[in-house]
């Protein structure tokens, strides 16, 4: 709207200027005619009175003093009466008017030129603007076909549309990011499915084998029972694996919500011990707990227990029989440190940051135990971090590992 | 969403021919926003130089550093200084606190120096979650190592920088305090959505980061 008004005003101004120029030209033409007429009359006067030629011409050049004698004035007055023209007045008026007209014409033309120049530049600017808009249009079109770095071809000049360009750029980057995330998630899901199916294959295969063999008529009762037992073991393994997998996939898809509330830590530790003690006893590994006082920490008891069970499970799995797993609890300033120390295979320091990644299995761990999905520690870390705590591993003096878990104290001690 | 920090073909050599040290050697890394990234390498691997270049404390021989989308070495010296004050928080091994000031004064000093308004509620929130509430009026030289480093972390967070750079932040602390300071750093990342880049030689500390970049002889050899 504003633009239209402005161009209208510009149009009127240009028309007015043109009118002025024409008027000035017309005036010049008219005045030139009058001047010629005066000159003609003057010539006529001089031809009749040759003796006055000098005075008349001098007076034309403005040397009033010489020509200004009373006699001359008289003669001129007579002449003016006779020929009916006022020589000096008209001469001066015409000259002034002519100068004015010339000036006006010059100024008018200059303004016209300026207006033309402005018009051309604004046209060029509009063209640039149009090009920028077209580039943006193309860019947005390419976004919709999935080419998200099309924004790199946008004009980079500091035009008036620069802010718009920047928004489009941000949009492109956002789309790209989302696209990458989606691809990443797809990859993740694929990896998850591949891993789960891979992990399930082995126990399922051995289960099927023993199931098929058990129906063989030539088997003794004793052998049959043996197969039955191993089947049960495999079923247990499958069950455990599935439980962990379900938890991982639920955690990844944000179906598990961890709600930390102030709760006693000892209960969590005892619940975890109860879960793993059978397995430990089976393997001949002794469990020990050193916990002098109890602490109220911020935790989701169910998931804290799950995390601790996973860490203990891991230590039991990768320790030889006859060793012990020790848990120590001690206060820090704003948190409580829970250490799980084993005498197992240990973790090489270059693998420290990898063992908490999903499906990562340490080189020594993989060499020692064929089953293990590489999700227990990942799950433990996810849970603990969502409660504001941490987990890390370091080498124990005896060659095993120490897992250090922290829980946030519900009421921080301030005296450290 | 732009990455919080990015280096493109960054180069920084020291010394002359013969004993040329390639501290940072054609390194291109991208560091994600809102994450805790550890740069790990042995001493002399060039990780400190890389951190200094990321923080605008040094000038590279060639290559570019983008922080929060800005090409920091395209800036003039005074622009860079202002940028550093407003966008980058530092946490060093030796804390760099002013001993004659108390905890609160140390925390708000950089904000005051920058002529910005002190957001009291925000800073009290940090102070509380960092466990320094009772120590606010204690002079810095009366604090333990862990408390000093917590003050330094609070100071870095209080200025609301785009990124915090930490150079061996637990280097002078005992193992237990180290664990606590690390837990605190992690919490700040998730709680305040802060981006944090930490360098360390210690895998035991690096494992607590979301992303670990391994650097050897001035080159990034692994990032996971």
CATH number at residue A339: 3.30.565.10
Residues A198 and A322 both lie in one domain: no
Select from A118, A144, A170 the last residue of a domain: A144
Mutate to test the interface with A, among B1, B126, B131 (most CBs of A within 10 A): B131
* Residue whose token pair is 């932040």: B169
Determine the Cα–Cα distance for residues A142 and A155; give it in Å rounded to an integer: 15
Determine the Cα–Cα distance for residues B4 and B18; give it in Å rounded to an integer: 37
Listed as own residue / partner, the contacts of B97-100 with beta carbons closer than 8 Å and 24 or more positions apart are B97/B140, B97/B143, B97/B148, B97/B151, B97/B152, B97/B155, B98/B140, B99/B139, B99/B140, B99/B141, B100/B139, B100/B140, B100/B141
Asked if A334 reaches chain B (Cβ–Cβ under 8 Å), the answer is yes
Give the pLDDT score at A92: 67
A13-17, B27-31, B166-170, B208-212: range with lowest mean pLDDT: A13-17
Give the pLDDT score at A228: 85
Give the pLDDT score at B16: 80
Residue B131 has pLDDT above 90, yes or no: no
Asked if B77 reaches chain A (Cβ–Cβ under 8 Å), the answer is no
Residues A262 and A404 both lie in one domain: yes
* Residue among B76, B77, B78, B52 at smallest CA distance from B65: B52
CB B129 within 8 A of CB B161: no
CB B43 within 8 A of CB B153: no
Determine the Cα–Cα distance for residues A361 and A374; give it in Å rounded to an integer: 5
Give how many domains chain A has, as a whole number.
3
Give the pLDDT score at A88: 56
Residue A165 lies in a domain: no
Domain region containing A297? 257-408
Residues A334 and A373 both lie in one domain: yes
Residue A133 lies in a domain: yes
Determine the Cα–Cα distance for residues B5 and B52; give it in Å rounded to an integer: 13
Give the pLDDT score at A84: 59
Hey, which residues does B139 pair with through a beta bridge? B102
DSSP 8-class letter at A369: -
Residues A225 and A359 both lie in one domain: no
Give the pLDDT score at A158: 64
Residues A262 and A372 both lie in one domain: yes
Domain region containing B157? 5-223
Residue B189 has pLDDT above 80, yes or no: yes
Give the pLDDT score at B1: 60
Which residues of chain A carry a pLDDT beneath 50? 61-67, 414-416
Q: What angle do CA B180, B184, B190 make, to 5 degrees?
A: 145
Residues A237 and A264 both lie in one domain: no
Give the pLDDT score at A57: 64
Mutate to test the interface with B, among A180, A336, A353 (most CBs of B within 10 A): A353
Residues A232 and A262 both lie in one domain: no
ipTM of the complex: 0.77
Residues A267 and A402 both lie in one domain: yes
Give the pLDDT score at A298: 92
Record: contact A173-B186, CB cut-off 8 A = no
Residues A301 and A379 both lie in one domain: yes
CB B26 within 8 A of CB B11: yes
Record: contact A414-B131, CB cut-off 8 A = yes
Give the pLDDT score at A68: 56
Residues A135 and A8 both lie in one domain: yes
* Residue among A243, A260, A363 at smallest CA distance from A313: A243
- What percent of chain B shows pLDDT beyond 90? 15
Residues A231 and A123 both lie in one domain: no
Minimal C-alpha gap between A200 and chain B (Å):
27
Determine the Cα–Cα distance for residues A99 and A24; give it in Å rounded to an integer: 10
Give how many domains chain B has, as a whole number.
1
Q: What is the pTM of this model?
A: 0.64
């Amino acid at each position: 709207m504003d633009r239209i008004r402005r161009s209208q005003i510009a149009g009127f101004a240009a028309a007015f200027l043109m009118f002025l120029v024409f008027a000035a030209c017309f005036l010049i033409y008219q005045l030139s005619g009058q001047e010629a007429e005066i000159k003609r009359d003057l010539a006529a006067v001089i031809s009749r009175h040759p003796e006055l030629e000098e005075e008349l011409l001098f007076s034309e050049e403005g040397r009033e003093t010489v020509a200004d004698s009373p006699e001359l004035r008289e003669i001129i007055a007579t002449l003016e009466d006779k020929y009916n023209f006022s020589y000096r007045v008209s001469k001066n008026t015409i000259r002034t008017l002519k100068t004015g007209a010339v000036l006006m014409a010059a100024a008018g033309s200059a303004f016209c030129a300026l207006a033309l120049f402005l018009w051309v530049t604004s046209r060029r600017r509009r063209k640039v603007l149009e090009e920028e808009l077209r580039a943006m249009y193309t860019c947005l079109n390419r976004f919709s076909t999935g080419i998200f770095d099309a924004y790199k071809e946008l004009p980079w000049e500091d035009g008036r549309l620069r802010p718009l360009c920047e928004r489009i750029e941000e949009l492109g980057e956002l789309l790209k990011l989302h696209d990458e995330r989606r691809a990443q998630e797809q990859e993740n899901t694929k990896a998850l499915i591949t891993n789960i199916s891979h992990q399930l294959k082995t126990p399922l295969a051995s289960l099927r084998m023993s199931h098929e063999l058990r129906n063989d008529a030539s088997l003794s009762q004793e052998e049959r029972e043996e197969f039955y037992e191993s089947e049960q073991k495999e079923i247990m393994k499958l069950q455990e694996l599935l439980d962990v997998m379900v938890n991982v996939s639920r955690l990844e898809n944000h179906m598990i919500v961890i709600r930390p509330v102030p709760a006693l830590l000892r209960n969590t530790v005892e619940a975890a011990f109860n879960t793993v003690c059978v397995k430990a006893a089976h393997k001949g590994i002794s469990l020990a707990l050193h916990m002098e006082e109890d602490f109220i920490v911020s935790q989701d008891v169910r998931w804290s227990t799950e995390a601790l069970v996973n860490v203990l499970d891991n230590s039991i799995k990768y320790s030889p029989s006859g060793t012990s797993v020790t848990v120590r609890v001690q206060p820090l300033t704003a948190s409580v440190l829970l250490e799980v120390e084993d005498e197992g295979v240990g973790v090489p320091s270059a693998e420290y940051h990898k063992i908490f990644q999903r499906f990562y299995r340490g080189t020594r761990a993989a060499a020692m135990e064929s089953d293990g999905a590489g999700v227990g520690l990942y799950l433990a870390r996810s849970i603990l971090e969502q409660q504001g705590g941490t987990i890390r591993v370091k080498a124990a003096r005896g060659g095993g590992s120490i897992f250090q878990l922290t829980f946030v104290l519900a009421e921080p001690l301030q005296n450290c | 969403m732009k990455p919080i920090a990015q280096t493109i073909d960054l180069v920084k050599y020291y010394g002359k021919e013969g004993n040329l040290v390639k501290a940072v050697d054609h390194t291109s890394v991208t560091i994600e926003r809102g994450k805790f990234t550890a740069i790990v390498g042995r001493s002399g691997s060039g990780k400190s130089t890389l951190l200094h270049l990321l923080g605008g404390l040094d000038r590279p021989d060639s290559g570019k550093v983008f922080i929060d989308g800005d090409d920091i070495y395209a800036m003039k010296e005074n622009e860079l200084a202002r940028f550093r004050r407003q966008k980058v928080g530092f946490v060093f091994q030796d804390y760099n606190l002013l001993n004659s000031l108390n905890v609160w004064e140390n925390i708000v000093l950089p904000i005051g120096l920058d002529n910005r308004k002190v957001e009291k509620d925000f800073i009290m929130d940090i102070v509380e979650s960092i466990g320094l509430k009772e120590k606010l009026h204690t002079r810095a030289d009366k604090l333990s190592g862990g408390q000093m480093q917590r003050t330094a972390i609070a100071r870095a967070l209080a200025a609301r920088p785009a990124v915090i750079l930490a150079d061996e932040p637990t280097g002078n602390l005992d193992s237990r305090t180290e664990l606590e300071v690390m837990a605190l750093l992690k919490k700040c990342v998730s709680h305040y959505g802060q981006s944090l880049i930490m360098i360390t030689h210690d895998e035991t500390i690096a494992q607590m980061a979301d992303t670990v970049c391994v650097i050897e002889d001035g080159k990034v050899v692994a990032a996971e």
